[in-house]
Amino acid sequence: MGEPSATPSAAPPGRDAPPRDERVPTLALSGSMRLFGHDPTAAEARLVPRTARWRWSRAALRMGIALVLAPLAALVPPHAPWALGVLGVGFVLARRRWRERYTLVRAEGRCPRCGADLRLERPAPLASPHAFSCGTCHHEPALYLDPDEGRD
In a domain, 116, yes or no: yes
- pTM score: 0.73
Q: State pLDDT tens for residues 78-126.
A: 999 999 999 999 999 999 999 999 999 999 999 999 999 999 989 999 9
Chosen domain end from 61, 77, 100: 100
Burial 37-76 (b: 16+ CB within 10 A, else e): eeeebebebbbbebeeeebeebbeebbeebeebbeebbee
Q: How confident is the model at residue 9 (pLDDT cuts 50, 70, 90)?
A: very low
Question: What residues have CB less than 8 Å from 121, skipping those under 6 apart?
Answer: none
Q: Is the pLDDT of residue 77 over 50?
A: yes
Q: State pLDDT tens for residues 12-43.
A: 444 444 455 557 788 999 999 999 999 999 99
Residue 46 and residue 117 in one domain:
yes
Query: Residue 41: in which H helix or E strand, if any?
Result: strand 41-49
In a domain, 11, yes or no: no
Which domain range does residue 55 map to? Answer: 51-100
Q: At what angle do helices 79-98 and 52-73 cross, to 10 degrees?
A: 170
Task: Give the pLDDT of residue 35.
Answer: 96
